[in-house]
């Protein structure tokens, strides 16, 4: 029998937070709710949690300050920020504190559950002794290479190993340009297994996944390969 994950939810919203707790528990999670950072840090030090959901805007002590204390005490417990802040600087600050993810209010409860499952699967696949790959923001998508998952809102795409590696090549390539020779060397170890048509198929699949965001394009570069553009 799979043990239900234990989630710490910290949110001073007395109307929304009980609904979030109820929804998570209906999805086979054990959720403990605190309405302020002081109660939360006390409980955090006493109990073991699989994941913490932290509201950023709270009186007396913010979610950022709470995360700082949590990381100092138990650095291996993942956390996700819940916030009404939409400024890029605030999102960057959240990730600098070590957040696994950052979801903006108002949010879909179904999307929240999807993101929780992605994080927990990634943590399970890469325990604290390993060095997991970072997540990537691609337009309105989040890409998790460790578990080969591409998330946009409530839509989750499970990528194949080749699709995931190819997307990583695009994201790490200078100016998003991927050369066919690079794909040959990094994705197909044996040259006789490589076919241009096969590469075209995988690029088409990535285009299909990403077409939901019109700011993302994968262009053909004649005689060279492909280029991913994120406007």
222 found inside a domain = yes
User: Does 14 lie in the same domain as 115?
Assistant: yes
135 found inside a domain = no
User: Does 167 lie in the same domain as 124?
Assistant: no
pLDDT class of 76 with cuts at 50, 70, 90: confident
pLDDT in tens, 93-109: 777 778 888 888 888 99
CATH of the domain at 199: 1.10.10.10
User: Does 226 lie in the same domain as 167?
Assistant: yes
User: Does 162 lie in the same domain as 124?
Assistant: no
29 found inside a domain = yes
User: Does 222 lie in the same domain as 173?
Assistant: yes
- Token readout for 27 is 């999805």
143 found inside a domain = no
CA distance 63 to 48: 19
CA distance 91 to 214: 22
Q: Taking the model in full, what pTM does it have?
A: 0.67
Among residues 81, 114, 129, the one where a domain terminates is 129
117 found inside a domain = yes
User: Does 117 lie in the same domain as 13?
Assistant: yes
* pLDDT > 60? residue 128: no
92 found inside a domain = yes
Query: Is the model more confident about 27 or about 87?
Result: 27
User: Does 86 lie in the same domain as 30?
Assistant: yes
If one counts the domains in the chain, the total is 2
User: Does 29 lie in the same domain as 122?
Assistant: yes
User: Does 95 lie in the same domain as 22?
Assistant: yes
Buried (b) or exposed (e) across 160-195, using 16+ Cβ within 10 A? eebbbbbbbbbbebeebbbeeeebbeebeeeeeeee
User: Does 93 lie in the same domain as 12?
Assistant: yes
The reported pLDDT for the residue numbered 127 is 57
pLDDT in tens, 179-207: 887 777 777 655 444 455 577 888 899 99
How much is the average pLDDT of 28-51? Answer: 95
Most confident segment among 5-9, 120-124, 195-199, 220-224: 5-9
Q: Which domain holds residue 191?
A: 158-230
* pLDDT > 70? residue 157: yes
pLDDT in tens, 6-34: 999 999 999 999 999 999 999 999 999 99
151 found inside a domain = no
Phi, psi of 179, deg, nearest 5: -90, 145
User: Does 186 lie in the same domain as 105?
Assistant: no
User: Does 207 lie in the same domain as 111?
Assistant: no
> Measuring CA to CA, which residue among 7, 3, 151 is closest to residue 78?
7
């Amino acid at each position: 029998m799979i043990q239900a994950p234990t989630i710490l939810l910290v949110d001073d919203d007395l109307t929304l937070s009980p609904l979030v707790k109820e929804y998570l528990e209906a999805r086979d999670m054990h959720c403990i709710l605190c309405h302020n950072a002081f109660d939360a840090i006390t409980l955090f030090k006493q109990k073991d949690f699989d994941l913490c959901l932290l509201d950023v805007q709270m009186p007396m002590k913010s979610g950022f300050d709470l995360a700082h204390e949590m990381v100092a005490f138990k650095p291996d417990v993942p956390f996700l920020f819940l916030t009404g802040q939409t400024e890029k600087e605030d999102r960057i600050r959240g990730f600098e504190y070590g957040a696994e993810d950052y979801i903006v209010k108002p949010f879909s409860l179904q999307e929240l559950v999807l993101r929780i499952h992605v994080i927990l699967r990634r943590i399970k696949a890469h325990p604290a002794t390993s060095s997991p790959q970072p997540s990537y923001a691609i337009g309105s998508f989040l890409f998790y290479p460790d578990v080969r998952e591409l998330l946009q809102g409530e839509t989750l795409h499970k990528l194949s190993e080749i699709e995931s590696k190819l997307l990583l090549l695009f994201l790490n390539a200078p100016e998003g340009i991927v050369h066919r020779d690079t794909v040959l060397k990094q994705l197909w170890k044996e040259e006789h297994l490589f076919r241009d048509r096969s590469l075209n198929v995988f690029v088409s699949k990535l285009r299909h996944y990403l077409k939901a965001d019109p700011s993302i394009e994968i262009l053909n570069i004649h005689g060279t390969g492909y280029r991913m553009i994120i406007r």
